[in-house]
Amino acid sequence: MTSTSAASPPAPGPRRVAMVTVHTSPLAQPGTGDAGGMNVYVLEVARQLARAGTAVDLFTRATSASQPDVVQVEPGVVVRHVPAGPYEGLSKEELPGQLCAFAAGMMRVAAHAPAGYYDLVHSHYWLSGQVGWLAADRWGVPLVHSMHTMARVKNLHLADGDEPEPRGREIGEVQVVEAADRLVANTRREADELVELYDAEPERVAVAEPGVDLATFTPGSRAEARAVLGLPPDAVLLLFVGRVQPLKGPDVLVRAAAELARRRPDLRERLVVAVLGGASGSGVRTPMGLEDLAARLGIGDRLRVVPPVERATLAQWYRAADAVAVPSHSESFGLVAVEAQACGAPVVAANVGGLPTAVGDAGVLVDGHDTADWATALGRVALDAERRRVLGRRGAEHAQGFGWARTAEKLLAVYRGALAAPKDVSIHDAQRLRDVPPAVIP
């Protein structure tokens, strides 16, 4: 007789996570300022974690006197605005001087709660990692950190005219890598970069790919989307979505579109080059001047610069596009690419960072940022209806593997691994902390 034993139940996950995102609020509109894919990531995984039974308190810097101290997004998800420095006028580069004030604000919140209120700290971006390191050490809980972008990677792939990341950021990132119990990478390539460029211990690095809102970003009628957006039915629409800064490469699309119009003069009057987003980073300090660039290249009347839009409207732009360009010089993942594919839009992306993972074999990857190469790649997609159809179908299927629930499941596995060996806390004390019942703090 063969006996079988029941599988061991999974290790318990955290009841409540303190999630830290110092420099940008998860409630901010993506596409302008410092708000981008990370904002979407943080809020969406928090929602999925809460629905799976892990409550999340999101700590972010207050940037307006009118912001409430606490915003409940949904049951189990709370955003806490922490005063740290002047509300307005501080750039991301100036925030290191406010980390102490931010950490003190987090400590004050936790001081009103019972011991063991937070089981784990998850920090996003290196500034948050510095604060998360202090909080996790003070509370005797594990620190999980997501880099999202890394100075040493960005400095290896600078766009023309862009500014290198400062040495102080590199030092801060190294410190966070050393302090974290677990590091979460968006892709296997990012995981390798953490090991190769930051000497991270491989066993502490896990991969959890970002997701996409598959209920909002769905395939739909291109004709209907164009009617909603007021676009000509016969337009050749080349679309860029994201922050307007050299790193993201919107100028690559403008130059390639001008070259395509030069090659095919008959297309010029149908061409629409749409840039959805606002200035960010070095693009604020030194505006990219896309309108001037387009005018110099002879397509000034073909360019539309559109402020960031809410997600339902963004989905319509994706559906309306003949090709979505993602010409980033560095990209930890490339959420725009997956959103576009989920809507059935063909994607042409730079072969950098996490974009090969995001795009898979369902899109077109371009090596480098040469204008002629991009014009050729965009033309082969935008002007070939059958190829657009095939890429759109394959892209929509590919995007189905990137739901946010899947991301949250992987994060919970990372959390359980970190909790299985809490740092600097005895087994007895760890159990005592976990036995503290949940509470509500103001």
For residues 228 and 222, what is the distance between their CA atoms, to the nearest angstrom? Answer: 10
Q: Are 121 and 18 in contact (CB under 8 A)?
A: yes
Provide the β-strand partners of residue 236.
271
Is 35 annotated to bind ligand? yes
* HSE, side-chain direction, 13 A CA sphere, residue 173: 23
b vs e for 346-368, b when ≥16 Cβ sit within 10 Å of the residue's Cβ?
Answer: bbbbbebbbbbbbbbebbbbbee
DSSP letters along 43-61, please? HHHHHHHHHTT-EEEEEEE
Is 243 annotated to bind ligand? yes
What are 136-161's pLDDT values in tens digits? 999 999 999 999 999 999 999 888 77
Q: Are 69 and 80 in contact (CB under 8 A)?
A: yes
For residues 115 and 113, what is the distance between their CA atoms, to the nearest angstrom? Answer: 7
Q: Are 145 and 173 in contact (CB under 8 A)?
A: no
Q: Edge to edge, what strands does the sheet with 303-306 contain?
A: 303-306, 271-276, 236-241, 323-326, 347-350, 364-366
Residue 266 contacts by C-beta under 8 Å, 6 or more apart in sequence? Answer: none
Domains present along the chain, CATH in parentheses? 16-211+404-434 (3.40.50.2000), 222-402 (3.40.50.2000)
Amino acid at 180: A
Amino acid at 259: E
φ/ψ of 14, rounded to 5, equals: -70, 145
Is 398 annotated to bind ligand? no
Is 21 annotated to bind ligand? no
- pTM for this model (two decimals): 0.85
pLDDT of residue 38: 87
Is 339 annotated to bind ligand? yes
What SS3 class is residue 161?
A: coil
pLDDT of residue 32: 59
Residue 438 is classified by DSSP as P
Provide the β-strand partners of residue 146.
124, 184
For residues 411 and 418, what is the distance between their CA atoms, to the nearest angstrom? Answer: 11
Distances (CA, A) of 49 to 43, 75, 132, 148: 10, 11, 19, 19
Is 30 annotated to bind ligand? yes
Is 92 annotated to bind ligand? yes
Is 318 annotated to bind ligand? yes
pLDDT of residue 151: 93
Q: Which helix (H) or strand (E) holds 283?
A: helix 282-285
How far apart are the two ends of the chain, measured CA to CA in Å? 59
Is 34 annotated to bind ligand? yes
pLDDT of residue 24: 83
pLDDT of residue 229: 97
Is 37 annotated to bind ligand? yes
Average pLDDT of the residues of the chain: 89
What are 273-282's pLDDT values in tens digits? 999 988 755 4
Provide the β-strand partners of residue 237.
272
Is 29 annotated to bind ligand? yes
Is 163 annotated to bind ligand? no
Tokens of 54: 């892990």
Is 309 annotated to bind ligand? yes
Return the residue matching tokens 């490469």: 249
Residues of the chain with confidence (pLDDT) below 70: 1-11, 30-36, 280-288, 422-442
Tokens of 53: 């039974």
Is 210 annotated to bind ligand? no
Is 361 annotated to bind ligand? no
